[in-house]
């Protein structure tokens, strides 16, 4: 029986929660990034909190940032992601990142920021308004527990839902290492737009750069992706 009067976001939330329940995954949302740092120490002890979400660098609270942490049926942390608004000061995203890209470095690497470069694409030049940055995306679990199950696709789209509910921004963006993006993580996360060769990060003493891609979604894109039939959401985790 069809449920009338619900938005695409409502339907996605109901169906995705049923799927996550089936896998024993529970999600917690918070905005205290000191607490998030402690959760990372528990669930990802080998990971250093990313610079955009480091509470020692930024004043983040319920108005401009949030994180999502997932636990499995045994209470073990198996997923993280975080979101925060960007103050582009009315500039295009391309103009903001021309110098500001250094605020979004890969975590835990000894980078040569002077040699590193950002190359804006046509999408970034046309992104204005309220922008949310999406990062800290990770999924763990035992071999065969979650990977290959489609749970990562549900969790990626959950970021769209959370972003819309919290801020309804004009755009959401993120960065992905080229090897990760080329393995299909862009589509599994649900992103519809990719700008290749956006970032070139150089490590000190290494002439070969690490290449990164920028992914982005408009508010309309996010709502489009979430407005999937029940059966398609189930198929993601089939």
Q: Map out the domains of the chain as residue ranges.
A: 8-236
CB 58 within 8 A of CB 36: no
Instruction: Give me the pLDDT at residue 150, please.
Output: 80
Token reading at 221: 């894109």
Instruction: Give me the pLDDT at residue 237, please.
Output: 62
CB 73 within 8 A of CB 146: no
Least confident piece of the model among 85-89, 111-115, 143-147, 203-207: 143-147
Average pLDDT over the chain, rounded to an integer: 92
Q: What percent of the chain has pLDDT over 70?
A: 94
Q: Please, which pLDDT band fits residue 2 given cuts at 50, 70 and 90? A: very low
Q: List the one residue out of 122, 107, 117, 119 whose CA is nearest residue 200.
A: 117
Alpha helices in the chain (DSSP H): 8-22, 33-43, 93-100, 122-125, 151-166, 178-180, 186-189, 219-226, 230-236
User: Which whole number is the average pLDDT over 19-36?
Assistant: 95
User: Which whole number is the average pLDDT over 34-51?
Assistant: 96
Specify the fold of 8-236: Aminopeptidase (3.40.630)
> In angstroms, rounded to a whole number, what is the distance separating the alpha carbons of residues 177 and 179?
6
Task: From residue 75, give the alpha-carbon distance in Å to each of 80, 141, 145, 189, 232.
Answer: 14, 11, 14, 24, 28
pLDDT, tens digit (0-9, with 9 covering 90-100), for 156-186? 999 999 999 999 999 999 999 999 999 888 9
pLDDT, tens digit (0-9, with 9 covering 90-100), for 49-72? 999 999 999 999 999 999 999 999
SS3 71: strand
Token match 């046509």: residue?
A: 122
Q: Which residues pair with 77 in a beta bridge?
A: 71
| CA neighbours closer than 13 Å in the CB half-sphere of residue 137 | 25
Token reading at 77: 């942390």
CB 36 within 8 A of CB 53: yes
Instruction: Give me the pLDDT at residue 143, please.
Output: 79
For the purposes of burial, counting CB atoms within 10 Å of the CB of 91, is it exposed (0-12), middle (13-18) or buried (19 or more)?
middle
Q: How does DSSP classify residue 131?
A: E
pLDDT of 151 over the 70 cut? yes
Cβ-based neighbours of 37, under 8 Å, separated by 6 or more: 49, 55
Instruction: Give me the pLDDT at residue 1, please.
Output: 40
């Amino acid at each position: 029986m069809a449920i009338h009067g619900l938005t695409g976001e409502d339907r996605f939330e109901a169906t995705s929660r049923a799927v996550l329940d089936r896998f024993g995954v529970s999600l917690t949302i918070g905005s205290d990034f000191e607490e998030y740092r402690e959760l990372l120490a528990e669930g990802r002890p080998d990971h250093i909190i990313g610079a955009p979400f480091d509470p020692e660098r930024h004043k983040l609270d319920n108005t401009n940032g949030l994180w999502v942490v997932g636990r499995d049926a045994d209470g073990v942390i198996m997923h993280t992601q975080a979101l925060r608004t960007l103050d582009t000061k009315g500039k295009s995203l391309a103009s903001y990142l021309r110098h500001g890209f250094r605020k979004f470095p890969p975590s835990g690497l000894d980078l040569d920021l002077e040699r590193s470069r950002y190359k804006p694409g046509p999408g970034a030049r046309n992104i204005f308004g309220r922008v949310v940055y999406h990062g800290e995306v990770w999924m763990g679990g035992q071999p065969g527990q979650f990977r290959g199950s489609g749970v990562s696709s549900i969790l990626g789209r959950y970021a769209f839902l959370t972003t819309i509910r919290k801020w309804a921004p004009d755009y959401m963006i993120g960065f992905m290492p080229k090897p990760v993006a080329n393995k299909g993580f862009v589509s599994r996360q649900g992103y519809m737009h990719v700008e290749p060769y956006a970032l070139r990060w150089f490590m000190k003493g290494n002439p070969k750069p690490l290449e990164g891609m920028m992914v982005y979604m408009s508010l309309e894109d996010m709502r489009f992706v979430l407005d999937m039939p029940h059966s398609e959401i189930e198929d993601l985790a089939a």
